[in-house]
A and B are shown apart, each in its own frame.
Chain A
Amino acid sequence: MKQRDTLDTRAAKGVPGRTVDMMINIGPQHPATHGVFRMVLTVDGERVIDAVPHIGYLHRGSEKLCEYEDYAQIITLFDRLDYVANFNNELVLVMAVEKLMGLEVPERAAYIRMLMCELNRITSHLLFIGTFALDTGAITPVLYNFRDRERIQALFESVSGARMMHNYFRVGGVKEDLPDQFNERLESALSEIEDGVDEVDRLLSTNEIFLERTKGVARIDGVSALDWGLSGPCLRASGVPYDVRTEEPYLLYERVDFGVPVGSQGDCWDRYYTRVLEVKESIRIVRQIMCQMAPGEVQTKTRRIVRPPQGEVYAHAENPRGDFGVYIVSKGNDSPYRLKVRPPSYCNLQALPQLVVGHYLADAIVVLGTLDIVLGEVDR
């Protein structure tokens, strides 16, 4: 960024008149902050010269609370971290505990977990695409995507009994098997979603105004993206092909064939389109899972009170927002001694000041939209 004219430099140059930088407080209640996030932007006219993010408005002390809860109860807390990708959060917790206990999951349970996580990735990305379009000013895609998301939410409800806070995964498996007629319903939902995604793709992805707003805006290169600890679509848009599903395959991701979209520009449009392609890939994965799945047990025998051995474990998985990790220090009790979450949106959000400085106020909103933060996860 070039040296900015300040009051002092202007006075030194003898430029008459005064311009004063304005501080704009965006949030905690603002339509574009996707939750209770606050950022203080210093703007020179319309151009952002400084951005200070403030988080913590949704800090509920989840990690501390986990130290006082049973592992079974912690699952309900994890539902409430990233509240648009609940299954993925639950998965990471139960994976961590299973890794600590050295527990094997029945094949069908693993497939069901994969299925639910991929479906949840679709719902989460659909929500992103819709709200991002809303950030750029298009008011229609969000409703199309809610329409499609609703189809999957209904499936979730039929599987777990809840639309968002599922509490469905258990240490050693899942709560219960898929309901009857699930395959047929899933297939019809998937084909409708495919149509819906194409529809929004036609409506938005290559729209001139949309390209105008997102192409080349807020670029971040791969090296600094890694440095900031970005993950997920934000990192992949910068050209770093880091996806936990291929990097350290968990569940049965080795058995399915899928592609990972990788951007090359690291701008807002790449971050957006990476997710659009991921939705399509997830649909592909779900189809493969449905073919491969065989009937069987869904739960290994465990004690009612899960009590993993002493030790430390870090487990992570590819959430819609990125690399979601859980670090558990266990002392062999019912509750973890220390539990720490690696929230991907927290890391992604850190890079915000670097991304928005030098751009327009309207771009700041768009950039925040592409980072796709969920405040439940950022503040925990």
Chain B
Amino acid sequence: MIAGLPPKDKNVPRRRHPVIESAPPRLTPVGEALAKQISDVLSDFDVSITAELDEVCCLVRAPDVERICRLLKEGPLTSMKYMRLLTVVDYLEDEAELEVVYHLYSLEHHHKMMLKTRVSDPSPEVPSVAGVWRGAGWYEREMHDLFGVFFQGTPDTRTLILPDDFEGFPGRKNYPINEYDEW
């Protein structure tokens, strides 16, 4: 950032634009069937199922994540063998929570879904899913670097993309990005 320009305020729209519309959910029939299946499969857990656009979105409690993931991967109805993406979204400012999002996909059934869980700040801990999908390992390390979410039981806890002595969690919204001198 150049000194002199005011930092852009990210939450306030730049111009007067009061109406913020939401994208309507547009689930396909396959997606609706999946939503039903998931509510059956995960009936033992505390789950709330919604939809974002065309994806089934399923919010669970953080301690259940690993068991749910294993169930989703190994259950023949879901068989989410492929984990596309693991990420963290920072809602600390508004809701004082971090959201961990897993994007799952099933090659057999062509099902796709988002699995979400929420953790809050003093101890943002989620069980690791690196034992379920090995590909999750690096994502977990990266998210720990950037957001400070701790994944319990992750096989490797070293930093991945930041230097070892880096302080703070630069992915979070409250990380002061304008307060350093440009090289």
Residues of A within 8 A of B (CB): 55-56, 59, 61, 63-64, 67-68, 99-102, 224, 226-230, 240, 242, 247-248, 305, 307-314, 316, 323, 325, 327, 329-335, 337-338, 340, 342, 346-347, 350-351, 379
Decide if B148 is an interface residue (CB 8 Å cutoff): no
Known: A56-B161, A61-B170, A229-B83. A333 touches B21 (CB 8 A): no
Decide if B177 is an interface residue (CB 8 Å cutoff): yes
Give chain B residues whose Cβ lies under 8 Å from the Cβ of A314.
55, 84-85, 103, 112, 114
Give chain B residues whose Cβ lies under 8 Å from the Cβ of A67.
10, 173
Interface string of B149-183 (1 = CB under 8 A from A): 00000000001111100000011010001000000
- Contact, CB under 8 Å: A102 / B85: no
- Contact, CB under 8 Å: A347 / B161: no
Within 8 A of A (CB), among B44-61: 52-53, 55, 57
User: B86 → chain A, closest Cβ, in Å?
Assistant: 9
Pick the contact of B135 from A102, A333, A337, A347 — CB < 8 Å? A347
Known: A56-B160, A314-B114. A327 touches B101 (CB 8 A): yes
SS of A interface (majority): mixed
Q: Which residue of B lies closest to A101 (CB)?
A: B23
- List 8 other contacts, CB 8 Å, given A228-B134, A247-B110: A56-B162, A68-B8, A227-B135, A314-B84, A325-B85, A327-B85, A332-B22, A338-B90
- Contact, CB under 8 Å: A311 / B134: no
Give chain A residues whose Cβ lies under 8 Å from the Cβ of B101.
327
User: A242 → chain B, closest Cβ, in Å?
Assistant: 6
Question: Complex formed: what's the CA distance from A55 to B85 in Å?
Answer: 18
SS of B interface (majority): loop
Q: What are the 8 A-B residue pairs with the smallest beta carbon separation, nearest first?
A: A229-B135, A311-B23, A332-B20, A56-B161, A340-B87, A309-B21, A342-B85, A312-B52
Question: Complex formed: what's the CA distance from A334 to B13 in Å?
Answer: 7
Known: A67-B10, A310-B23, A314-B55. A325 touches B135 (CB 8 A): no
Question: Complex formed: what's the CA distance from A347 to B82 in Å?
Answer: 12
User: B35 → chain A, closest Cβ, in Å?
Assistant: 16
User: A346 → chain B, closest Cβ, in Å?
Assistant: 7
Interface string of B116-157 (1 = CB under 8 A from A): 000000000000000001111110000000000000000000
Give chain B residues whose Cβ lies under 8 Å from the Cβ of A331.
11, 20
Known: A56-B160, A64-B170, A338-B89. A316 touches B84 (CB 8 A): yes
- Contact, CB under 8 Å: A99 / B135: no
Known: A55-B160, A59-B161, A350-B135. A307 touches B84 (CB 8 A): no
List 28 interface pairs A-B (beta carbons < 8 Å), by A numbering.
Answer: A56-B160, A56-B161, A56-B162, A56-B163, A61-B170, A68-B177, A226-B82, A227-B81, A227-B134, A229-B84, A230-B135, A240-B107, A308-B23, A310-B23, A312-B53, A312-B114, A313-B52, A314-B55, A327-B85, A327-B101, A330-B23, A332-B13, A332-B21, A335-B8, A338-B90, A342-B84, A342-B85, A350-B138
Interface centre among A310, A325, A340 (most CB of B within 10 A): A340
Give chain B residues whose Cβ lies under 8 Å from the Cβ of A309.
20-23
Question: Complex formed: what's the CA distance from A346 to B138 in Å?
Answer: 8
Question: Complex formed: what's the CA distance from A229 to B162 in Å?
Answer: 22
User: A59 → chain B, closest Cβ, in Å?
Assistant: 5
Question: Complex formed: what's the CA distance from A316 to B136 in Å?
Answer: 18
Decide if B16 is an interface residue (CB 8 Å cutoff): no
